[in-house]
Structure 1
């Protein structure tokens, strides 16, 4: 949803510390973001990730998932607490 709100974004804007409890968790979050999530999202066309400029923009397929992202965001208080 970060990209739905503002496009483009920098990598640093995705380093959300509110979801992590300590430095080890933050490091794990960053590893997963840069080595798993962003590459998969880029490969799927949902985002364009420029590693040189460290920017992330909406990809050619972003419009395909935006309604789902909006639905999840609007109803996040109804999701189970252990939702991924």
Structure 2
């Protein structure tokens, strides 16, 4: 398998989950020194904030940290763009720009 295929598969896996997509879309508009607070900045009221936090902290954030798409300060509940964010940014931007044409549960 080539590096591109592995990278492509990795990016699509990271975009499989709506909470990860929301987080990455929220970071899209951030400058290099800006951040978002999790889970508050991506909470939409669909479920309890504490449940979202558990899912983010135990599954979604570690996955994105491992791929270096994000940097996560657990103590301050802060997430910012990681060194590899630019790798996934074109796909995230594509999703964001076309969200009106995507199913409701995509973002």
Superposition TM-score tier, normalisation by shorter sequence: 0.7 to 0.9
Shift of 1:82: 4.0
Structure 2 unaligned regions, length at least 5: 1-24
What residue number does 1:41 align with? 64
How far did 1:61 drift? 0.7
Q: Normalization by structure 1: what TM-score?
A: 0.75
Query: Following TM superposition, by how much is the alpha carbon of 1:22 offset from its aligned partner in structure 2, in angstroms?
Result: 4.7
Q: Secondary structure at the match of 1:65?
A: helix
| Per-residue CA distance 1:10-58 (angstroms, 9 max, x = gap) | 424x42332x3353xx332221111111111001110011223332221
Paired residues in the alignment total 80
Q: 3-state SS of the aligned residue for 1:56?
A: strand
**Matches of 1:5 and 1:77 in 2, distance apart?**
18
Please name the residue that 1:9 is paired with.
35
